[in-house]
């Protein structure tokens, strides 16, 4: 069944949305923008990481019908997989979609599971970017948990962004600080990711995530020792990183589990 696409280019719609909701807060953005025809159909993409419970809870209350996409790279911490199941149950998430890369792709690109040791960008492309790209094709935009305080590369994040002029990215918590997140978790009695108490304020795949010492940037434990700061599904240097092997067609991308 075909669906009517929002009018205007992605950039035009992003400008309209940012102007329309610039004085709104996170809850208001979710309550009103998700029903705005200039945004279209959206999904929430969540890592079920250290701070994910805040946005997941907000969406479950404000727009419980919103699809929630979780990328299982098959390299996540066991604690993350357990936490994902716990939150899906506790928050009554009714449309959780677990996506993974197709096994033939992984077997070809990373047959022994060591790709992350010498080419983290390629590993992220196969295990995260390609499956997510396929999953998002049916949506006009997606909701992220990106926040300005997280790192220098996110310092100018707006509520709405143009993703390579193809989709809109929605960042409801863009202006929230760490204290806001903490207060929300405490006030709503939300369960925390078990690794947070072990020194992991930002959690990705197990081989590429390490504990963070006091005083370090919260994302210092991601790809430690490398210049890499993002997995590739977000902006790097002002540009969207989207890699696909030459000659690969859409049928080669990941499937929804």
State the catalytic residues.
Answer: 231
Residue 124 annotated as binding site: yes
Residue 94 annotated as binding site: no
C-alpha to C-alpha distances, 179 to 35, 155, 189, 202, 212, nearest whole angstrom: 29, 17, 15, 16, 18
User: What one-character-per-residue DSSP string does 22-53 give?
Assistant: TT--HHHIIIIITT-TTT-SEEEE----SSHH
Closest CA to 240 of 164, 174, 167: 164
Residue 123 annotated as binding site: yes
Rounded CA-CA distance 181/202 in Å is 14
Point out the annotated binding site for [4Fe-4S] cluster: 123-124, 205, 208
Point out the annotated binding site: 123-124, 205, 208
């Amino acid at each position: 069944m075909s669906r009517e696409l929002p009018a205007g280019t992605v950039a035009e719609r992003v400008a309209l949305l940012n102007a329309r909701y610039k004085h709104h807060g996170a809850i208001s953005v979710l309550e009103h923008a998700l029903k705005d025809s200039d945004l279209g159909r959206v999904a929430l993409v969540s890592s079920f990481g250290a701070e994910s419970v805040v946005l997941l809870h907000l969406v479950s209350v404000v727009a419980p019908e919103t699809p929630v996409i979780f990328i299982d790279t098959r390299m996540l911490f066991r604690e993350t997989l357990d936490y994902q199941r716990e939150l899906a149950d506790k928050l009554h998430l009714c449309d959780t979609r677990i996506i993974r890369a197709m096994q033939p792709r992984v077997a070809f690109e990373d047959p022994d599971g060591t790709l992350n040791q010498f080419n983290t960008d390629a590993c992220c492309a196969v295990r995260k970017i390609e499956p997510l790209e396929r999953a998002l094709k049916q949506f006009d935009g997606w909701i992220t948990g990106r926040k300005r305080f997280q790192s220098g590369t996110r310092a100018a994040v707006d509520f709405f962004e143009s993703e390579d002029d193809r989709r809109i990215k929605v960042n409801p918590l863009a202006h929230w600080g760490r204290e806001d997140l903490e207060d929300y978790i405490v006030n709503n009695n939300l369960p925390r990711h078990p690794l947070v108490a072990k020194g992991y304020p930002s959690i990705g795949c197990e081989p590429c995530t390490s504990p963070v010492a006091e005083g370090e940037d919260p994302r210092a434990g991601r790809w430690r020792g490398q210049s890499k700061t993002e997995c590739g599904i977000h902006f790097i240097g002002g540009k969207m990183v989207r890699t696909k092997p030459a000659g690969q067609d859409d049928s080669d991308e990941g499937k929804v589990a």
